[in-house]
């Protein structure tokens, strides 16, 4: 099992460009999450999907959109990238939304995004 995979690993964008970060999990998990990690700050939740067909905003959703394409895949889109979106982005998944915050999350390797 690959676990949680993310593509790309690195990306450089110019201000105003758009891109989609891809995430897939092969653990048959119901819930998936997108986080960003910035220096000196803890991980912050951008969007999450408690189950296939649902998505909800997290702490820092502005400037992002998400799609839960199917149970395996959860993508994050930047429509018009800004330098403030320079960050490392992590996707995660957990087995069962009914476990709530007790569910252990499994993380992807991260995508390092730079917006010039």
Q: Does 107 bind another protein (CB under 8 A)?
A: yes
- Judged by CB under 8 A, which stretch of 20-28, 42-50, 62-70, 71-79 contacts another protein? 42-50
Cα separation of 70 and 80, whole Å?
A: 25
Question: Cβ of residue 110: shortest distance to another protein, in angstroms?
Answer: 5
Burial class (CB in 10 A: 0-12, 13-18, 19+), 116: exposed
Among 27, 58, 63, 86, binds another protein (CB under 8 A): 58
Residues 73-92 that bind another protein (CB under 8 A): 88, 90, 92
Q: Is the dihedral angle over the CA atoms 78, 80, 81, 84 positive or is it negative?
A: negative
End-to-end CA distance of the chain: 36
Q: Does 2 bind another protein (CB under 8 A)?
A: no
Q: Does 99 bind another protein (CB under 8 A)?
A: yes
Q: Does 94 bind another protein (CB under 8 A)?
A: yes
Nearer to another protein, 36 or 85 (CB): 36
Cα separation of 90 and 106, whole Å?
A: 10
């Amino acid at each position: 099992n690959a676990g949680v995979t993310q593509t790309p690993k690195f990306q450089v964008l110019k201000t105003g460009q758009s891109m989609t970060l891809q995430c897939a999990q092969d653990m048959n998990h119901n819930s998936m999450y997108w986080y960003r990690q910035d220096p000196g700050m803890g991980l912050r939740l951008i969007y999450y999907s408690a189950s296939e067909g649902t998505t909800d905003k997290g702490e820092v959703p502005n400037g992002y959109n998400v799609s839960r394409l199917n149970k395996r895949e959860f993508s994050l889109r930047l429509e018009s990238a800004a330098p403030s979106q320079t960050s490392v982005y992590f996707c995660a998944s957990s087995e069962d939304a009914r476990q709530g915050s007790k569910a252990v999350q499994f993380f992807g390797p991260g995508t390092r995004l730079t917006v010039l």
